[in-house]
Amino acid sequence: MRIAADVRRTVAQENDWRLEGQSRMHVHDTNHPHLPVPQRACLFLDFDGTLVNIAPTPDGVVVPTDLTALLDDLRDALGGRIALGAGRGVGSIETHLPAFAGIVIGGHGAEMRDQNGTMVRLAGCDTDTAGAHDWARQVGLKYPGVGVELKRTGAAIHFRQAPEWELSVRRAAEVFADETTGLAVQESHMAIELRPKCANKASAIEALMGANPFAGYRPIFAGDDQTDRPAMDFCQAAGGIAISVNGIHPTADIQLGSPRAVRALLRDWLG
């Protein structure tokens, strides 16, 4: 993946960003990792499985009572250099975190609520999703027990409650994507999604890193899903740190075992 030139220059100039010769860190959940001070960092956080536990359905997630306060404290300490990223749509994040005023990336990077609260589609991610919605509804009728999630940027079929349909749903999604311009199949936690081909969290983060207030700061990304790995790779290539939850990325700098451990790490990081 192409790394923005200004990010490469920043990495080369900021030698004190380095981890002082340390290799990738595998830390216990109770330990404080070697992270840059918040004044030198910017932070990107996945939602499901990273900040909150995975639930049987997207609407079923339970938001910890202290999460909103933690995110507010992080936003203050980072001078606004924080963004949440998710496969679910921005509107769904807003439903679960109505008080969070920071940047939200949704649809695997296809849409974003910017720092002014304005909804934007990221470049190239303007694929018409009406066909994907029709397809998802038909799949929901054909395979009993699967869940249908319609998004502004695509659609997802959840088979956590009906795992026997996994292969059938995957094949149906692959056939539909092959016949449709601009859509790609995305595998997630017990789900198969259709998303714009252009959409990924790494591209969204790269766009943010090229502008204020993120430009020139060391990126940190925490995630727990295959869809998060490109963003982890981007942040590491840009001189930052990747935090892997539940072993999703074996070469991440920091390995944690649960959303609770992520929240504890972030709270400890603030001091």
| Residues belonging to the active site | 46
For the chain, the residue count is: 271
Contacts of 53 (CB under 8 A, 6+ apart): 61, 62, 258, 259
Q: Angle between the 201-209 and 229-237 helix axes, to the nearest 10 degrees?
A: 30
Between helices 166-178 and 130-142, what is the axis angle to 10°? 150
Sign of CA dihedral 122, 239, 85, 247: positive
**213 preceded by cis ω (within 30°)?**
yes
* Burial category of 180 from C-beta neighbours within 10 Å (exposed 0-12, middle 13-18, buried 19 and up): middle
Contact status, residue 185 vs residue 192, Cβ threshold 8 Å:
yes
Strand partners, 218: 41
Pull the structure tokens for residue 13: 């100039």
φ, ψ of residue 196 in degrees (nearest 5):
-60, 140
Contacts of 264 (CB under 8 A, 6+ apart): 29, 30
CA distances from 23 to 2, 5, 222 (A): 24, 25, 18
